[in-house]
């Protein structure tokens, strides 16, 4: 899983489902996302008299994720981002790091990490549903690489400290970085750091394994979903008593909106198919955690 296994920004995926289907509440958005990632390829659902297959659902969610990160044209988003990075490099190395300077740095790094996760998930969704070598994929990959590079620049050339003096040496190291960023901003969206620049600045992500041709994006999405489910189970601290009278996996669960629940049920495919069962998953996780130590008896 690498960079994303802590699932820090996973909730934005639920937001993307909600943006794609405004009539769906948060709980059903969780169901849709889980089933889109884990259900068979012939998975379909109908909303407002329109049918969607798994590929179409993945495409809608990917589009929503991209919309959360890119405002206006890619060029405009790039210009805003690089200006932020240049300002942070300048403010964090101009003699004294104020509380405001540190907050600017912290906010950028958090926003960049969230956007990187969203764009990478959109990239994975498009790859998993069979989209290869498209212009959209190329732009997504370029944006992911740049976000990683910009985060590295901020982390490599600014201190993670507050209310401290910056040395003259640090100022001299940061000055050419600031000038380079301002030049890059003027060269346009399609320009990128050269291989020599990336290597010398220690920001090279061109050959990241998770952006390679052999990376399995469908498996990555499944692992991410399962990690998030485990995290949610741990957070809610579900006990064995919670499983009394749980309906079978083939039953339609009660809902405040029966019509919507019937549509959500279609996401799971026909009932005679074996599919992912969240209740069964929870019980298996509980059983694993409560199993005796090797060699002991209960």
User: The tokens of 235 are what?
Assistant: 């957070």
pLDDT the model gives residue 293 = 45
Q: What is the pLDDT of residue 254?
A: 39
> What is the C-alpha separation between 123 and 50, in angstroms, rounded?
25
Eight-state DSSP code of residue 169: H
- Token representation of residue 184: 């890059």
Compute the distance between CA of residue 240 and CA of residue 88 in angstroms, rounded to an integer. 51
Confidence (pLDDT) at 201: 86
Confidence band of 244 (pLDDT split at 50, 70, 90): very low
Q: Is the pLDDT of residue 11 over 60?
A: yes
pLDDT of residue 197: 84
Q: What is residue 278's predicted lDDT score, i.e. its pLDDT?
A: 61
pLDDT tens digits, one per residue of 143-158: 999 999 999 999 999 9
Q: What is the pLDDT of residues 197-237, one digit of tens each?
A: 888 888 888 888 999 988 999 999 999 999 999 888 887 75
Calpha distance 150→5 (Å, rounded): 21
User: What is the model's pTM?
Assistant: 0.77
Rounded to the nearest integer, the mean pLDDT of the chain is 80
Instruction: Give the Cα separation of 129 and 289 in Å (integer).
Output: 34
Query: pLDDT value at position 90?
Result: 94
The pLDDT tens digits for 61-106 are 999 999 888 877 777 888 889 999 999 999 999 988 999 999 999 9
Which carries the bigger pLDDT value, residue 149 or residue 22?
149
- pLDDT score at 274: 46
More confident residue, 190 or 6: 6
- What is the per-residue pLDDT for 168? 92
């Amino acid at each position: 899983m690498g960079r994303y296994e802590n699932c820090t920004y996973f909730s934005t995926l639920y937001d993307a489902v909600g943006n794609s289907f405004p009539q769906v509440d948060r709980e059903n958005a969780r169901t849709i996302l889980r089933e889109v990632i884990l259900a068979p390829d012939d998975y379909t659902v109908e909303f407002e008299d329109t049918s969607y297959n798994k590929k179409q659902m993945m495409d809608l969610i990917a589009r929503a994720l991209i919309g959360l990160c890119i405002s206006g044209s890619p060029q405009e988003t790039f210009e805003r981002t690089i200006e932020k990075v240049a300002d942070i490099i300048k403010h964090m190395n101009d003699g004294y790091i104020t509380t405001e300077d540190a907050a600017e740095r912290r906010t950028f790094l958090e926003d960049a990490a969230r956007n990187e996760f969203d764009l990478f998930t959109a990239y994975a969704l498009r790859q998993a549903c069979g989209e290869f070598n498209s212009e959209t994929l190329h732009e997504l990959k370029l944006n992911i690489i740049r976000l990683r590079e910009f985060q590295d620049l901020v982390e490599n050339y600014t201190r993670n400290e507050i209310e401290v003096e910056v040395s003259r040496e640090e100022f001299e190291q940061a000055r050419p970085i600031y000038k380079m960023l301002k030049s890059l901003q003027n060269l346009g969206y399609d320009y990128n750091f050269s291989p020599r620049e990336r290597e010398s600045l220690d920001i090279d992500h061109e050959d990241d394994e998770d952006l390679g041709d052999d990376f399995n994006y469908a498996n990555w999405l499944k692992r991410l979903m399962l990690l998030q489910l485990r995290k949610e189970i741990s957070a809610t601290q579900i006990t064995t008593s919670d499983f009394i009278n749980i309906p079978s996996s083939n039953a339609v669960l009660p809902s405040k909106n029966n019509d919507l629940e019937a549509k959500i049920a279609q996401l799971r495919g026909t009932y005679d198919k074996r599919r992912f069962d969240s209740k069964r998953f929870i019980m298996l996780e509980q059983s694993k955690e409560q199993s005796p130590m090797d060699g002991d008896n209960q």
